[in-house]
Amino acid sequence: MSNSLKRYSIRQATKQDLPAITEIYNERIANSTGLFIYEAVSVDYMKKWLDDSQKMGYPAIVAVEKTTGHTVAYSYLGSFRSKPAFNLSAEITVYIHLDHHRQGLGRLLSLEMIRIGTEMKFKAITAGITTENTPSIGLFKSLGFNEAGVFHNTGYKFGRFLDVTFLEYCIPETEGPGDGKIPRFIPFPWDKYVFGQSLYNK
């Protein structure tokens, strides 16, 4: 068992987590070049994200500190590109509250998301990271992501042009549906998810 699991539990994201998720996200909007967003978002904005994830069958999970019950981190998969040809590619996101960095949560949540994405039959999990965000790039590379390329000066924040590095995690065992068929991932089993357990054999 990962040491982080002594202190934190992992479960699916719910409406009750949205204020904490919004706070974690807004702190990074205000203080980092990791996100190319300038204005803080509302809890309603995050509610739409969660509703859309559930409707489309994308997963979203959170880490909860056992002693306080606080939601301190979250991770999700979303669409890489909206055209159907890209349906089996997902983009991963992971955010940890500043007070809980370096406790192993980034690794734990990302590994669980890779496991989930593999069971959902994605072919590739991608990440687009501001190149100067070396902790995130280090995290994903340590989990088996390969650098796919760098877009130079494509983002602009805090008065500076920024490079964005794309990383990919390829899942060789996923097969396509056959010629002429639209590829579809298996929807995340919302309300049935248990951390670390097979998603569909129940």
Ligand X SMILES: CC(C)(COP(=O)(O)OP(=O)(O)OC[C@H]1O[C@@H](n2cnc3c(N)ncnc32)[C@H](O)[C@@H]1OP(=O)(O)O)[C@@H](O)C(=O)NCCC(=O)NCCS
Q: Which residues bind ligand X (CB under 6 A)?
A: 28, 34, 93-96, 101-107, 127, 129, 133-136, 138-139, 142
Of 90 and 129, which has the nearer Cβ to ligand X?
129
Nearer Cβ to ligand X, position 6 or 202?
Answer: 6
Q: Give the three-class secondary structure for 2.
A: coil
Structure tokens at 188: 């995340």
| For ligand X, the closer CB: 100 or 123 | 100
Q: Which one, 50 or 183, has the nearer CB to ligand X?
A: 50
Q: Shortest approach of ligand X to residue 167 CB, angstroms? A: 10
Q: Please state the length of the chain.
A: 202
Q: Determine the 3-state secondary structure of 182 from DSSP.
A: coil
Amino acid, res. 202:
K
Give least dist CB 119 to ligand X, A. Answer: 21
Contacts 24+ apart (CB under 8 A), 21-30: 21/46, 21/62, 21/71, 21/74, 21/95, 22/46, 23/97, 24/72, 24/73, 24/74, 24/95, 24/96, 24/97, 25/95, 27/97, 27/98, 28/95
CB of 95 to ligand X, least distance (A): 5
Q: Which is nearer to ligand X, 9 or 133 (CB)?
A: 133
Name the minimum Å distance from CB 152 to ligand X: 19
Give the residue at shortest CB distance from ligand X.
106
Q: Do 29 and 41 touch, CB atoms closer than 8 A? A: yes
Q: How far is the CB of 97 from ligand X (least distance, A)?
A: 8
| CA proximity to 149, closest of 137, 158, 160 | 137
